Structure 1
Amino acid sequence: MAELQVGLGDRSYPIYIEPGCLSRIGDDLNRRKIGNRYAIISDLNVTKLYGDKLLEILSNAGIKAKLFPFPAGEKSKNLFTVEALASRLAQAGYDRHDAIIALGGGVTGDLAGFLASAYMRGIPFVQVPTTLLAQVDSSVGGKTGVDLAEGKNLVGAFYQPEAVYIDTLVLNTLPKEELLGGLAEVIKYGVIRDADFFTFLEEYRRKILALDSDIIVKMISRCCEIKAEVVAADEREGGLRKILNYGHTIGHAVEGASRYELIHGLAVAIGMVAASRLSLIKKSLTEKEEERIYSLISAYGMPVNVPRHLDRSLIKRYLKTDKKAVAGNVFYILPDAIGSTYITDQVTSEMVDTVLEQK
């Protein structure tokens, strides 16, 4: 399996990226000896697709495991679900010598990672992301957490996995909306860190949307390389890592205002366009580069404007509870060029109103 490394000293871990690597996870877990047995945390949709398959793979490798499914969707990403899963683990006799496998998308990875950080005061876990968004973003870096009614990811922990296994073949069962949501996070990496990668995404759009195997592996690998570099430099988001939130400030607010009917990645697409427009208003970004960002997101078939039916006042209330807000000041990650961003709280309410109303 192709391997990248997240360099965090004694907490470093590998990211494996390869078509079909799910079938070889049992052998690797045996070699790494992460847990005596495994609790597979997965939503009901992914459980139906891959739960029994993973159980069989682990059983063939002589590994004991049990499935712990939960209802699919962002609405399950809360403390009630964590408590319910923890109780089921306790009832099944799981202890601190066992481990968790997060099998699924971003919700599952965040939820299972937070559960792992808290159960028995911390047990090991591995990530097996099954959505593009999880493969390129949420499964790497150790951010775990759940939502409150007041906003996304307001309760959580930095807790690194022992390994990440990315099987690109599972993307073939991904609904188109989820694929596009993941591609929003992919575009994010080009804007914040790598202009050449942004150009790659422009040039290979058709092959990417067709899930060309070689191109998809290259694309995911570059995203994970960038994420690993940023996390290794700033694990707990004290500075550089904040750039990974490009598109997420307004994106999270739009997502919350939609009552999570709008999936995360598509909300981030809207948020990226909004952030680029804010930078254009502040004269930090040229019209040409703002247009390239808008055009690429639009060309992939993602939404670029805040849906008209969403309550703008509710969006602004969510902005005030964003995790990046300090003493009531909301911080934005804005591009000043493709491949470069900066962090600022110098964004007025009038500027925000302007981008929220653009069509």
Structure 2
Amino acid sequence: MKTTELIVQASTNSYTITIGEGIRNQIANYLPKEYSAIWIVTDERVRDLYLSDCLSSLSDHQVYHTVVPRGERTKSIEYFYQLQTEAIKFGLDRDALLIALGGGVIGDLAGFVAATYMRGIDYIQMPTTILAHDSSVGGKVAINHSMGKNLIGSFYQPQAVIYDVETLQTLSEQEVRSGYAELIKEAMISDELTFHSFLKADLAALSLQSLQTHLRTGIQIKAEVVEKDEKEAGIRKYLNLGHTLGHALEAELGYGSLTHGEAVAIGLLFAVHVSEQFFNNELPFRQLKQWMEQNKYPLHLKAIEHQALLAKMKKDKKNKQKQIQMVLLEKIGKPAIRTIGDQAMLDYLHSFERKLVKK
């Protein structure tokens, strides 16, 4: 059984990302130290698939577990509070470990609980989706507010990331699409060769080997950026490519109407469209749109009121002085952040909507 290890050097600690097959059955081998107790937080679907394996691999430890509903709506103040209450009832102390077993929602929610319970306990990310390859690395943890995504959160690094790629074999087509949007994003800010190699992926016929290679590449790109800019003061903002419109769509439609990755996919196309207009350059809009269509991404705005989208964009936490800061591309592999005025953004939305329906 082959495993790959990547090291992330954060300001607070360094941690190992382990990628391999079947490693959920060997969690104890990847614990960085001894803990007074271990608490696994997961969702209903992952519980049915993988919780028993994880519990068996930790049979020599005091282990508790909590199961929450699936979906983006769980990243809320209500479930955050519920989990804090559970931790208190279990009697967890500062030497306890929280394991976030699941997708990005579980990682973000449980990570934020770990960051705040008793002013911070250790946690480990155990992603079970492709999408979570992105959110499990870098220490951004958060819950949503009805007025915007991830507005309540913190930077809090995990102690390890344990990524068992076998868990990805049970993902739906929609979940695979969602995850690959973030991989494509990482390729777009990296280089043309990586980007065009990722566009060869047929998501309906992915081999586990190809998937593992793409994940390793995407995580490496993310880790290198995070190491240089842990608190998102500079280049880490480039990882938000596609998220200006993506987050606005999620908030406006209601969390869960589109998956995060599906919303980001539309946002990536929009970012390319705006970049071409802003920089008067030519980018692979057509190739990217064609790849997304072939892989059945929902590419439409559903007649959403543009003013409503603009209002959501203006609540993005990365904005400055109430002006939208958007990640654009001067070319593939050369991202840049530019301020976009309100009227210009509305114009871009109108022209993008027309461009989406063109064949």
Whether TM-score is above 0.5 comes out as yes
Contact 2:12 2:157 in 1 (8 A): no
Matched with 2:71 is: 73
Matched with 1:28 is: 30
Indicate whether 1:282 and 2:272 are aligned: no
Task: Identify which range, 278-287 or 334-343, moves more after superposition.
Answer: 278-287
2-side partners of 1:153 and 1:173: how far apart? 27
Indicate whether 1:314 and 2:311 are aligned: no
Matched with 1:19 is: 21
Q: What is the TM-score normalised by the length of structure 1? A: 0.94
Deviations, residues 279-311 of structure 1 (Å, cap 9, x unaligned)? 112244305x22223223333322333223x33
Q: CA 1:167–1:330 in 2, change beyond 3 Å: closer, same or farther? A: same
Contact 1:15 1:163 in 2 (8 A): yes
SS at match of 2:329: strand
Matched with 1:305 is: 300
Task: Identify which range, 16-25 or 153-162, moves more after superposition.
Answer: 16-25
1-side partners of 2:204 and 2:159: how far apart? 31
Displacement of 1:34 in angstroms is: 5.1
2-side partners of 1:83 and 1:267: how far apart? 28
Indicate whether 1:3 and 2:5 are aligned: yes
Displacement of 1:36 in angstroms is: 2.0
1-side partners of 2:280 and 2:325: how far apart? 16
Contact 1:125 1:162 in 2 (8 A): yes
* Structure 2 counterpart of 1:123, one-letter code: I
1:86-235 aligned within 5 A? 86-135=84-133, 137-203=134-200, 205-206=201-202, 209-235=204-230
* Structure 2 counterpart of 1:271, one-letter code: G
Displacement of 1:354 in angstroms is: 2.5
Matched with 1:240 is: 235
Contact 1:284 1:336 in 2 (8 A): no
Indicate whether 1:340 and 2:329 are aligned: no
What count of residue pairs does the alignment treat as equivalent?
350
* Structure 2 counterpart of 1:314, one-letter code: A
Displacement of 1:155 in angstroms is: 0.4
2-side partners of 1:42 and 1:218: how far apart? 26
SS at match of 2:316: coil
Deviations, residues 230-267 of structure 1 (Å, cap 9, x unaligned)? 00000000010000000000000011111121110000
SS at match of 1:238: coil
1-side partners of 2:302 and 2:226: how far apart? 33
SS at match of 2:317: coil
* Structure 2 counterpart of 1:324, one-letter code: K
Displacement of 1:193 in angstroms is: 1.2
- Show structure 1 runs of 5+ residues with no match: none
Deviations, residues 165-191 of structure 1 (Å, cap 9, x unaligned)? 111111111111011000100110111
SS at match of 1:256: helix
Contact 2:141 2:154 in 1 (8 A): yes
2-side partners of 1:25 and 1:36: how far apart? 16
2-side partners of 1:343 and 1:127: how far apart? 30
SS at match of 2:58: helix
- Show structure 2 runs of 5+ residues with no match: none
Deviations, residues 85-112 of structure 1 (Å, cap 9, x unaligned)? 1111101101111010000000000000
CA root-mean-square deviation: 1.5
* Structure 1 counterpart of 2:258, one-letter code: L
2-side partners of 1:245 and 1:232: how far apart? 16
Q: CA 1:34–1:325 in 2, change beyond 3 Å: closer, same or farther? A: farther
Contact 2:246 2:265 in 1 (8 A): yes
Q: CA 1:123–1:143 in 2, change beyond 3 Å: closer, same or farther? A: same
SS at match of 1:95: coil
Contact 2:306 2:349 in 1 (8 A): no
Matched with 1:45 is: 45
Displacement of 1:10 in angstroms is: 5.1
Q: What is the TM-score normalised by the length of structure 2? A: 0.94
* Structure 2 counterpart of 1:241, one-letter code: R
Report the identity percentage.
36
Contact 1:285 1:335 in 2 (8 A): no
* Structure 1 counterpart of 2:330, one-letter code: D
SS at match of 1:282: helix
